[in-house]
Chain A
């Protein structure tokens, strides 16, 4: 094991931030209309004082910037929620997508939009949270009942089953009423295309709240990693920590789903990358996930813009392509179960 002092970890975090800024610039500059870097720079610095009217400036300010912000917010939320759900279930294969949390959220949003006629992010945001919370609790309850407590296998299977059922019903609803769901179609595939600022701003406070909870319970989660009994004797409040973690996961995964649609595998990969760099300390894992999650989603989004020019591949599809092989590697590893 290489030594992991606080300073090397900080250095790594700075490197990750540099990576993030490169990804942000790429996300602003690359697309069906490529924009030179100097124009990007002058627009960004000039955009604060006064709006220039060139096409490039309009593309950057009205389309690329909000899209980049969405990728950052959703990637961050998914990364942190993945870190939390892996810690609290002690399951290295846990991911808000695999455990059916994002499907629950998407299902609730589909009900809100299709059946109740709710429009706008502000309207269906609470449905996204509620669906995520309900799915998390149901999967956790069914997965953890039993004599030996929570077993990773049953938990994963329950999540997979619930996710399959819920997303099946959502796609059935999409098929039955194509007109009413035309807006949801792009959203359901996890595309970041064509969403404005009003799609992301109302969700931000909840994502921030979820991240704050994640930092607050990080120490207790470190203790829980040693086992419930040991954690309790170390002074961690196991039940409360679990409940808070579930609330945070619902806020983060539900929020990410509300702004970007059901995107899987970001929450699976990012905590593993973070753990590989910084070791098992939950505080550092959360900090790294906050930076690395956006990097992954931004890169996925940019790749999706390049491969099908002038069309686009939804970012959720690209993350699935990157993440699925990671899942296979993880499940093939010798000691896949137990964190």
Chain B
């Protein structure tokens, strides 16, 4: 099996059918391990157990951004390399990334209520994350509005590339602006500032989330390919009936 197999929808379907079962099994195991680790991680001296929302909030933020990253690569695949499955990837990744972004916003809001006294504040990090959600929803709306998938693909690809500017803004918003959201503590020059007993579970959960993303992405891509086949069959049926 080589890379060119991935370009063929039928071979991809076969690959997906083989991969998804065991991949979902690994995902479940990873979550089991991650949740276990999160449970035994120590409470924060100020926040108490509330701090454990972090194990949902931070990975979903990362995955929301990863989703857009995957869509950006797929967009380049559509526009530059003309890869046959690129637009399928982009269309399948959008709702998954949007769901993770929404999860990030909701968990962050619930976390913020006891911490900051408010469900929402318009600081740079939260606003740019909300803008990311709006971008996701806009791309999904675009996919749904245009009937012919291949025409929608190019428009969505360009929109994705333009929207990718939001990703560095989210990342560096806590540095560039005065924000209520805490500053970077994991991925920063000079190393992480989080103690390993919390950092390790965080990475485990992040790994579990990534496996979940991969599983859902493969399943969604399979669905999209099948959906397009149904559409083609409809067209053939209409054409065959005199």
> A and B: real partners?
no
